[in-house]
Amino acid sequence: MAKYTGLSVATISKYINGGNVLDSNRDSIGEAVKILDYKVNEIARGLKTRKSKTVGVLIPKLDSIFTTTIVSHIEGVLQENGYGTIICDYRRDPGLEAVKLEFLLGKSVDGIIIMPLALEAEQLQKIIKNDIPVIFIDRSVKGFGSDVVMADNLNASYSATEYLITRGHRRIGFICGPRDIHTAQERLKGYLRVHGDYRLKIDEALIKYGDYEIESGYNYTKELLDILKPPAAIFATNYEMTIGAIMALNERSVKIPDEVSFIGFDNIHLADLVKPPLSIVVQPMRQIGETAGSLMMRRLKGDRTGFPSIIRLKTELLIKDSVRDISGVV
């Protein structure tokens, strides 16, 4: 390429690595890249610059609409900026989560985006020592200062539960996530807080701790239906548990909303697939992914503004036909 353009290797290298060169030189090198079909050897460049131009993404499961949608939008932002991704699924296994984190570090990724499950601050100190930017999505790790991008889970749960209360419902079944997951804790706080604000007694029998899987939504919905005084409404707090809950209601031939009002979570397309159309909490999955990707690019460029940032994105309560108004019923 130096022979073709008549420019020094130093000038060409500067251009290839994103440096500023004269406009005339940029045009000459750009033309040479096209004519000679030049391809950057990323491995060789990585050895020299100690940058792999890749970001590791560590998620609990690949067969989840929530995680795959977010990852897709993370990839879109990174790709636009010349970065690739290495995606690891740890299958909601804490041991595998740690193994996959070590794997990503071994691949010399420039940054890591994590949806953590059981990672602790001590395990993450190695990343800090390596000066690798870390961004958590959907949840944080206690005691570890890092950027976090998540939905506003507390207010999402508060709004959905409040909507049921204002429609006259007092016994609201709540299918929550695991007790030790930050996301689930925030959604439970919203449910409890709105009860307190409306001075309503909380019946612990109406709160079920699932595991964000279909089976737990299915089993806990049946448990709620079988208690002595079953709930007049059910709120399932993630997509998979929403599906499981609907399966259980259909199996029992429970009519929505005539017999039980229902609010689900996560997937806007699910709302119209079920009859009657479901009211659901819609998480900003695209915005979460794009925000995490853009924030990662800022950190990779050395921009530490606002570090550590905790970004909570608003959800939407999509109202359909699955909630019955019983406020006027005596």
Distance between CA atoms of residues 36 and 63, nearest Å:
42
Q: Are residues 116 and 35 in the same domain?
A: no
Buried b (16+ CB within 10 A) or exposed e, 274-304: bebbbbbbbbbbebbbbbbbbbbbbbbeeee
Residues 147-172 pLDDT 10s: 999 999 999 999 999 999 999 999 99
Q: Are residues 214 and 292 in the same domain?
A: no
pLDDT band at residue 2 using 50, 70 and 90 as cut-offs: low
Q: Are residues 196 and 236 in the same domain?
A: yes
Q: Are residues 124 and 239 in the same domain?
A: no
Q: Are residues 88 and 193 in the same domain?
A: no
Chain center to CA of 329: 40
Pairing of strands 147-151, 134-137: parallel
Whether the model clears a pTM of 0.85, i.e. scores above it, the answer is no
Residue 271 lies in a domain: yes
Q: Are residues 165 and 211 in the same domain?
A: yes
Residues 46-95 pLDDT 10s: 445 567 899 999 999 888 889 999 999 999 999 999 999 999 999 989 99
Residues 13-56 pLDDT 10s: 666 665 676 777 677 767 766 775 665 554 444 445 567 899 99
Residues 175-227 pLDDT 10s: 999 998 989 999 999 999 999 999 999 999 999 999 999 999 999 999 999 99
- How many structural domains is the chain composed of? 3
Distances 239 to 91, 110, 217, 235, 281 between C-alpha atoms, Å: 17, 32, 9, 11, 10
Residue 322 lies in a domain: no
**The domain spanning residue 249 has which CATH number?**
3.40.50.2300
Q: Are residues 188 and 263 in the same domain?
A: yes
Taking CA 175 as the corner, what is the angle to CA 230 and CA 260, rounded to the nearest 5 degrees? 40
Instruction: Kindly state the tokens that stand for 19.
Output: 């440096």
Distances 108 to 101, 123, 216 between C-alpha atoms, Å: 11, 17, 38
Residues 100-149 pLDDT 10s: 999 999 999 999 999 999 898 888 887 777 789 999 999 888 889 899 99
Q: Are residues 171 and 273 in the same domain?
A: yes
Token pair 């089993």 in the structure block, residue: 219
Instruction: Kindly state the tokens that stand for 10.
Output: 């130093």
Q: Are residues 268 and 238 in the same domain?
A: yes
Q: Are residues 169 and 182 in the same domain?
A: yes
Query: Whole domain around residue 145: which residue ranges?
Result: 50-151+285-313
